[in-house]
Amino acid sequence: MTRRLFANRVVLITGASTGIGRATALAFARHGAKVAIGDVDERANETIELIEKTGGEAVFFKTDLTNGKEVKSLVEQTVKKFGGLHHAFNHATSILNIPTKFADIEEVEFNKVMEVNIKSIFLTVKHELQYMVANGGGTIVNTASLTGLMADPFIAPYVTANHAVIGLTKAAAFDYAQDGIRVNAIEPVLTEVSLTQLDVKKSFFPMPRAVKPEEIADMVIFLSSDAASFCNGTVYAVNRTNFPLTN
């Protein structure tokens, strides 16, 4: 039987229409959390239906996460609907630039990748922090990419944005640790829903397969739980997870 680690708690998840975001929303719901989803993708309604079928509580607010007013409203609507905000998983950061050599990158393409992959994270973290500071703390987990620790050829904007997510995560963690808020990041590698198509058996990762969205969700659950009470301002590359916490 699943331990209800987040009973009477509220989590806000962005980018939960499919894949890792959906798997994480379902995992939080299984652990008793009330789930609010912010996304532009209407498929988030399917995630809501899956949660409700298992007896969970969830709501979807269609939100442009690159718009500060809409993100502020997302947090406010979440609090109004469920009475609080204790945890956040900011996952809507998946746009990859058109493969282009650095000097040939168009400014408009660079700006587009920055808008979705770092500005959206900045805005969600900013407004989540404002509520958590005033209401006793909380946890935030951001999604970056393995390219936040390394680089791949021809995707400089994407690499830059993910390095920025890591820096933002660490900066926020230092600024708000004394307020009872922990901010960490995950870096999923070679997920089953990844845009990267590689032969994982020949890659440098220790596990000879792609990671499942549910395994990424396990890490988010761990980092959001009291079991990770001393994890703060850190980046976790998820290439193998098997946490008994969710069993």
Domain boundaries, the chain: 10-238
Write the class of the CATH domain 10-238: alpha beta
pLDDT digits (tens, 9 = 90+) for 48-92: 999 999 999 999 999 999 999 999 999 999 999 999 999 999 997
Asked whether residue 242 carries a pLDDT value surpassing 50, the answer given is: no
For residue 205, give the 3-state DSSP assignment: coil
The pLDDT assigned to 97 comes to 77
Asked if residue 9 lies in contact with residue 87, where contact means CB atoms within 8 angstroms, the answer is yes
Mean pLDDT of 130-138: 97
CA distances to 15, 63, 211 from 51, in Å: 15, 20, 23
SS (H, E, C) 4-63: CCCCCCEEEEECCCCHHHHHHHHHHHHCCCEEEEEECCCCHHHHHHHHHHCCCCEEEEEC
Grade residue 243 by pLDDT with cuts at 50, 70 and 90: very low
The catalytic residue among 131, 158, 176, 236 is 158
The DSSP H or E segment spanning 143 is strand 138-143
Average pLDDT, the chain: 88
Of 5-14, 51-60, 153-162, 210-219, least confident by mean pLDDT is 210-219
Q: Give the whole-angstrom CA distance, residue 201 versus residue 42.
A: 35
Q: Provide the pLDDT for residue 4.
A: 84
207: left (phi over 0), alpha (psi -120 to 50) or beta: beta
CA–CA separation, 128 and 75 (whole Å): 7
- Compute the distance between CA of residue 92 and CA of residue 69 in angstroms, rounded to an integer: 17
- Tell me, yes or no, if 158 is annotated catalytic: yes
Q: Cα–Cα distance between 98 and 208 in angstroms, integer? A: 28
Looking at residue 206, what is its pLDDT?
A: 63
Give the tens place of pLDDT for each residue, 32-45.
999 999 999 999 99
Structure confidence by residue, pLDDT tens digits, 169-209: 999 999 999 999 999 999 887 665 544 444 544 455 566 66
